[in-house]
Amino acid sequence: MGNIKITKSETSKFDEIDWNNLGFGKYFGDHVYISDYKDGKWSEGEIVPYSDMSAEPALCTLHYGQTIFEGLKAFYSVDGGANIFRPDMNAKRLNVSAKTLCIPAYDEARFLEACHDLVLLDRKFIPKEKGQSLYLRPLVYGTGNFLGVHTSDTYRMIIMSSPVASYYAEGLAPLKILVSDQYVRTVRGGLGAAKTAANYAASLLAGTKAKEQGFAQVLWLDGVSLDYVDEVGAMNIMFVIEDELITPPLWQGTLLAGVTRDTVLKLADEMRLKVSERQIRISEVFKAHNEGKLQEVFGTGTAAVISPVGLLSHKRVEITINDFQIGPLAQKFYDVITSIQHGETKDERNWVMRVNF
């Protein structure tokens, strides 16, 4: 750590930030990490000022979408310095996405070093309040200039940062979610398990329509039968039916292997909860609700950590979950995870990469 070449910015965007109204992804740190792939290898990489980038009209990524990204967070720690939460998981998942999109793998140790050194340099951008953080957005894309559907020979990796509040304006407050019965995000054999632009492009129309109807997000069903639950736009989904914590499995390759999902499943195991990674039909969820067995529904994701779901709407049938209140398990997971992230609880599981300053 601390070995990456740095060119410091002569100006700072720091004073432009409205710290009382951070929102999500509106403001950016002063620096970015950049590494380029050429002639079969990645360059060492360096940290440079955040600035405009030029692009030719033929930039292949703009046309064909050979691009992947990640999302992770650095938190202000109560014992000084910052904590980056489970960045090793993001390094690995970036390479899973890379494989799916035919992009050359990035060295995981170098990825971690880059995240560390960027957070250290732009530490003044880490917000201090609980729940806020410096979001890191690693991005890799083809930099070739050509028309024609084939892979690029050259790539760029960028890591940028953004001081953020919670992703949802609601914070840890129950969301209204529309179960999509018309649009699908991905199918088996598709790109669903990769964090790639195409999956988010596929969600835009349904998401826009859902927002127009007053919903915060879309819950996606499987792309073949529209029966089984997959995930939410930017979160994995969990159901508590009687005493069972249920979340859709990863083996079909249609959903993202969320870091928060993994974190919650590990904590649930430690709490000796009955945990099932299994397929679940949307009809089972509604039936459980009608029988009074559906205790909680919540999403898990880096952006909001835990998002309780207060209402699900499917084919114009609406169910209200837990009286639109935050459920006890959602609250528990939120409290445990955020206290580890902010250094209030000892990091017994080695989930945190420290940035000392």
Ligand X SMILES: Cc1ncc(COP(=O)(O)O)c(C=O)c1O
Residue by residue, DSSP assigns 234-269 as TBEEEEEETTEEEE--STTS-S---HHHHHHHHHHH
Phi, psi for 41 (deg, rounded to 5) = -150, 155
CB of 271 to ligand X, least distance (A): 19
CB of 45 to ligand X, least distance (A): 23
Q: What does each C-alpha distance from 127 to 29, 93, 105, 166, 318 come to in angstroms?
A: 12, 26, 32, 12, 38
Q: Which is nearer to ligand X, 47 or 84 (CB)?
A: 84
25 within 8 A of 71, measured Cβ to Cβ: no
Q: Which is nearer to ligand X, 172 or 234 (CB)?
A: 234
Q: Which is nearer to ligand X, 143 or 300 (CB)?
A: 300
CB of 164 to ligand X, least distance (A): 13
CB of 54 to ligand X, least distance (A): 29
CB of 144 to ligand X, least distance (A): 26
Q: Is the dihedral of CA 88, 105, 231, 161 positive or negative?
A: positive
CB of 304 to ligand X, least distance (A): 9
Q: Which is nearer to ligand X, 9 or 300 (CB)?
A: 300
Q: Which is nearer to ligand X, 69 or 106 (CB)?
A: 69
Q: Which is nearer to ligand X, 120 or 265 (CB)?
A: 265
Which of 121, 118, 124, 148 is closest to 136 using CA atoms?
118
Helix or strand run (H / E) with residue 121:
helix 108-121
β-pair partners for 196 = 68
Angle at 266 between CA 138 and CA 80, to 5 degrees: 55
Which of 333, 350, 341, 345 is closest to 81 using CA atoms?
341
What angle separates helix 259-270 from helix 87-100, to the nearest 10 degrees? 130
CB of 87 to ligand X, least distance (A): 11
311 within 8 A of 177, measured Cβ to Cβ: yes
CB of 326 to ligand X, least distance (A): 19
- Identify the DSSP state of 318: E
What is the contact surface with ligand X in residues (CB under 6 A)? Answer: 71, 231, 234-236, 256, 258-261, 300-302
Rg of the chain (C-alpha set): 20
CB of 302 to ligand X, least distance (A): 3
Q: Which is nearer to ligand X, 161 or 300 (CB)?
A: 300
d(CA 257, CA 259): 7
Q: Which is nearer to ligand X, 231 or 296 (CB)?
A: 231
β-pair partners for 238 = 298
d(CA 133, CA 131): 7
Q: Which is nearer to ligand X, 71 or 127 (CB)?
A: 71
β-pair partners for 298 = 238, 308
Q: Which is nearer to ligand X, 180 or 236 (CB)?
A: 236
CB of 341 to ligand X, least distance (A): 13
Q: Is 198 helix (H, G, I), strand (E, B) or coil?
A: helix
Query: Token pair of 49, please?
Result: 């000022």
